[in-house]
């Protein structure tokens, strides 16, 4: 029937879809989200049909509802080209051990709330494994990585880019010694992650995906002056990763408050950092139906009250 591109699916029979609908308080024709770019009205029935075809168990319906809401949220910014797909769970126990709040708490939710966050990225970024346990060495390495890792190749697109920074517990533990909160780390990185104006101008002039400037009305020198005025160029201390005798260099900022999220991952046996540039974030609370414990008993699960303190 050519329903798919060749990948296997579970046929969405009425019985299967109706079983998915038992695990939500939404009516079958009730709107869950309006998904851009096509502004498609997505109902609970649509979510259930897609869940069945993907092979999801019926009890996952509340998660699918929350994910659909997140995809339609105004803060979720889709990317063009080939966004990377990835799914992970933050190590909230590690957050507690080092004294950082989990991401969903920093986003305004209660610690006991279950949430789903939708984000996007265009690049996997550099897979960095620090060979030092000095936070004053790791933070500049991260600043250097950020200054060169933007949404488009060479940093030729927008000046500011949303980023997700993934780190394992050993790296986060080290950074927490100097930066007691993710906000404190972000403040340092905003100040330190600056890019030389000449590099930014060269990339944005010759490799901007928004249009060709070579041979246009402005030459590179004039365009550099334009960026100097519009992107907040300033004389700043030359970053230590540049082998230069100049005490200062003209740079532009590459980070803005609230556009970078820090996530502590699993795999605690490794020390790794990864900067993932891409789109924004949308976090939605997972809402359970009123008869959740009854449904869970039918499925052979323990009641929710046993997991709450």
- The answer to whether 76 and 282 are in contact (CB under 8 A) is yes
Per-residue pLDDT of the chain (309 residues; tens, 9 = 90+): 677 778 889 999 999 999 999 999 999 999 999 998 788 999 999 999 999 999 999 999 999 999 999 999 887 765 555 566 678 889 999 999 999 999 999 999 999 999 999 888 877 777 899 999 999 999 999 999 998 877 776 777 788 988 999 999 999 999 999 999 999 999 999 999 999 999 999 988 888 766 666 556 778 899 899 999 999 999 999 988 888 889 999 999 999 999 999 999 998 899 999 998 887 889 999 999 999 999 999 999 998 888 776
pLDDT for res 156: 73
pLDDT for res 78: 59
Q: Where are the beta strands (DSSP E) in 203-272?
A: 234-237, 248-253, 260-264
pLDDT for res 213: 63
pLDDT for res 126: 75
Backbone φ and ψ of 248, nearest 5°: -130, 160
The span from the CA of 76 to the CA of 259, in Å, is 12
- Please state the pTM of the whole predicted model: 0.87
The span from the CA of 161 to the CA of 149, in Å, is 9
pLDDT for res 36: 82
């Amino acid at each position: 029937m050519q329903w798919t591109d060749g990948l296997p699916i579970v046929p969405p029979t009425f019985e299967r879809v109706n079983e998915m609908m038992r695990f939500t308080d939404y009516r079958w024709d009730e709107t869950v989200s309006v998904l851009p770019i096509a502004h498609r009205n997505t109902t609970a029935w649509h979510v259930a049909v897609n869940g069945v075809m993907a092979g999801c168990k019926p009890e996952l319906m509340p998660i699918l509802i929350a994910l659909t809401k997140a995809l339609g949220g105004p803060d979720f910014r889709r990317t063009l080209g080939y966004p990377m797909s990835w799914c992970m769970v933050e190590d909230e126990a590690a957050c507690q051990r080092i004294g950082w709040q989990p991401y969903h708490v920093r986003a305004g939710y209660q610690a006991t709330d279950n949430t789903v966050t939708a984000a996007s990225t265009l690049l996997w970024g550099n897979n960095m494994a620090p060979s030092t346990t000095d936070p004053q060495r790791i933070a500049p390495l991260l600043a250097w990585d950020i200054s060169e890792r933007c949404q488009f190749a060479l940093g030729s697109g927008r000046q500011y880019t949303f980023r997700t920074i993934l780190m394992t517990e050993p790296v986060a533990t080290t950074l927490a010694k100097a930066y007691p909160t993710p906000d404190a780390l972000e403040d340092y990185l905003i100040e330190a992650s600056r890019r030389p104006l000449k590099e930014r101008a060269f990339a944005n002039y010759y490799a901007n995906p928004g249009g060709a400037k070579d041979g246009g009305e402005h030459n590179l020198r004039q365009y550099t002056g334009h960026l100097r005025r519009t992107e907040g160029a300033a004389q700043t201390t030359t970053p230590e990763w540049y082998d230069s005798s100049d005490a200062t260099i003209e740079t532009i900022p590459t980070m803005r408050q609230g556009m970078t999220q820090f996530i502590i991952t699993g795999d605690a046996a490794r020390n790794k950092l990864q900067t993932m540039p891409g789109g924004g974030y949308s976090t939605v609370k997972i809402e359970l139906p009123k008869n959740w414990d009854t449904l869970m008993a039918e499925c052979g699960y323990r009641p929710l009250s046993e997991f709450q303190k």
